[in-house]
Structure 1
């Protein structure tokens, strides 16, 4: 039986005491909620003993103003309800907390900067599905760990104290913030003490991803040859096997710091550096000199050395693909979207921040140099690869993920390759944000949060 969605109405504390809750009679009968008996009301980490009083010809719930304030909810809030007779607990929720990197109290219209509109979209989607969402930063976590200073949207953004949530969607964009002791302690505490769920709980390093996926023989076909901690012998070996190799920062993102090494003559090597303004190139007459020039960088930044691929192109501009994979309302991995990203001129990485452009898979393939015989099934093969890789990450890396951005490529023989996996996929890259519109990716997040929390 699906959980009912009910409207919670707030009544003056002078008319209703804090330990009494009123509920529609028919709803109480259907869910076997005992009348005039003590039950535990639960909302996230909040627990309070109440007596439930039936109300004829009514299908909602009424609570006192004081109780509503302690729970952090407003009149007319739609929530899901579960009654557990075994421990006489009446649960309202799900209460979802989205952990973001920063907020700005001095900008009440845009407290979260570029992702403010996404936060509004999450709020609207939660109201439609009967969930409650708030947004908080590491600085908002209190010493008790049972409450949080969070932002909610009710005709404008408001900051208030709320219970710790049933589900945390970790959208921190900084490893430094994620590794703060109070953040790690909070996530562990709410899981052990309140049975909460945290998804996308950690960043993924490139080395970690490729080393894990290598263990599954069925996934090896998607993996370019990759090695961690490159030294001169490894560089020499890779360059003897591949015309092009890449050095990628293990913890890099947005194409930052990627180095391409190309063999352009018998003893001639060209190094291309990805920069914001374009590609910076440098030539070397020997691999030993090249390595000496890069050795300083490799001492301060951990790199992955990877086989270069003959990616399909459009007018000399490489094309790759971002697949957004998400767990759905029954916890299964699905493809929400796949978009093509064509690199900007003077760039060999496709990020939008560096002049890349978006298109559909079909459009990108039609305009590419991919031979005709490989074009027909390009889209289903990309989808299959993304799902295989998402399941592999789930099985082989000990962390909870609810969505993954998986970067794929097609080479000129039609083969699908994995480039990178992002555990904090942006909500602003793939589809334009429109006021009032709720994207499938946002609906899916809430459906999954409902699934893991039991609502």
Structure 2
């Protein structure tokens, strides 16, 4: 049985008409594609009638230059094919669009800044698996359209006009960009007009995540006590109940704006605020004074108040874990990687942006002060991450294909959920190896193949 991946050869339009494809004879037989009769060829939203001619002892597909230009592909591309005899439709693809926050056309070697390497890995991964990927920004989205201006890689990064893709992976890193009317209108249009699937279509907010998971029996056991901070009575109740609590911006990321509150020796309360260089401490004589100080911030920031946990530590530095959970080629949630993150010396959060360091789970567990449950700690983290991903999929009405799930283990060995990120960084969750194409990148392509039927 031949694989469904084929190499594309672009032929001069003078030698091959735009409405004619040439395909290896073995593929014609395998897919029962009729010779020389009109069939509908699709590539993303592009649809046109073509005749398919067989080529003996050839395992690729030949298309004309003018058709390649319409498709936005170059000679040497690798695509997958799928033929449905009922509708006489020959589908080529998948065509994957990655929506990114910004581009830098003046920097041809690094047109996407710090994620250029991820973008090139996507290109290489598509060449290996079969598929075509392009990258576009909100600025390249216009009104009513059937094409998108984007970036492709063909012996270097270049701009091209492409059909609307089969699948869009939303990698926007700002809520402001994601909520632009033009972006939301585009998502709505491509879903309804072209049956495009958009995944990781929105940011998650901490309150939304915890409220949703409270409804999920399997995930409930991993939730620390947590509420949206709306009144003094909530803060008072949490301070009275727990030795320390965390106030986290409901829409924050990278550890920004987190406040740790603990009882001080003098009977008052100490608040520890994250800063770029470490943390700043402030004493308050009472819960009311503390709330008054925080309520100034609450005018612009919504906080989630969360039970403080006694996390395992390495040399008095707290350790937590980032699990990357992704959908695979069968559309099932799988663990791609879990890494341990140890907080930097001056910080109480473990994010790499705040000076944290990465290690393997086993290395962190072996160096930590965890006394019970060491042997199965890794498998319990994996089980928690999968159950939480399934819970989010069940209870939050949005489509996610990958989630960064931050977990912790307390001193008694219990696993807890800290937070969930629907736009996991392509650096923060990197497995600790030097593979050319990261497993996380391969999985995005596999899931895109699943969604588009390739």
Where on the TM-score scale, by shorter chain, does this alignment land: which range?
A: over 0.9
Map 1:229-244 → 2, pairs under 5 A: 229-244=229-244
| Contact 2:229/2:235, CA 8 A, preserved across alignment | no
Map 1:368-379 → 2, pairs under 5 A: 368-371=368-371, 373-379=372-378
1:313: how far off? Answer: 0.9
Aligned partner of residue 234 in structure 2, secondary structure:
helix
| Contact 1:152/1:158, CA 8 A, preserved across alignment | yes
1:353: how far off? Answer: 1.2
Map 1:284-433 → 2, pairs under 5 A: 284-371=284-371, 373-431=372-430
1:430: how far off? Answer: 2.9
Deviations 1:318-346 (A, max 9, x none): 11000000111111111111100000011
Distance in 1 between the 2:24 and 2:366 partners?
58
Distance in 1 between the 2:230 and 2:241 partners?
15
**Equivalent in the alignment of 1:189:** 189
**Equivalent in the alignment of 2:150:** 150
Distance in 2 between the 1:401 and 1:279 partners?
34
Distance in 1 between the 2:435 and 2:309 partners?
41
Distance in 2 between the 1:335 and 1:115 partners?
22
**Equivalent in the alignment of 1:48:** 48
| Contact 1:249/1:257, CA 8 A, preserved across alignment | yes
**Equivalent in the alignment of 2:443:** 444
Distance in 2 between the 1:228 and 1:342 partners?
27
Unaligned runs of 5+ in 2: none
Map 1:267-282 → 2, pairs under 5 A: 267-282=267-282
Aligned partner of residue 114 in structure 1, secondary structure:
helix
When the two structures are superposed, what TM-score results if normalisation uses the length of structure 1? 0.97
Aligned partner of residue 273 in structure 1, secondary structure:
strand
Deviations 1:73-115 (A, max 9, x none): 1112110001112221111000001110000000000000000
Distance in 1 between the 2:143 and 2:346 partners?
50
Instruction: Summarize the Cα distance change of 1:364–1:434 in structure 2 as closer, same or farther, 3 Å threshold.
Output: closer
1:48: how far off? Answer: 1.1
Distance in 2 between the 1:380 and 1:433 partners?
18
Deviations 1:274-319 (A, max 9, x none): 1111110000111111111111101211111111111111111111
Deviates more, 1:142-151 or 1:272-281: 142-151
1:30: how far off? Answer: 1.4
Distance in 2 between the 1:85 and 1:188 partners?
30
Matched, 1:61 2:47: no
Deviations 1:405-444 (A, max 9, x none): 0000000000000000000001112337998701111111
Instruction: Summarize the Cα distance change of 1:117–1:244 in structure 2 as closer, same or farther, 3 Å threshold.
Output: same
Deviations 1:372-411 (A, max 9, x none): x321111111111001101111111111111100000000
Deviations 1:251-273 (A, max 9, x none): 00000000111012362110000
Instruction: Summarize the Cα distance change of 1:435–1:136 in structure 2 as closer, same or farther, 3 Å threshold.
Output: farther
**Equivalent in the alignment of 1:102:** 102
Deviations 1:156-188 (A, max 9, x none): 100111111001111000011111112112112
RMSD: 1.5
Unaligned runs of 5+ in 1: none
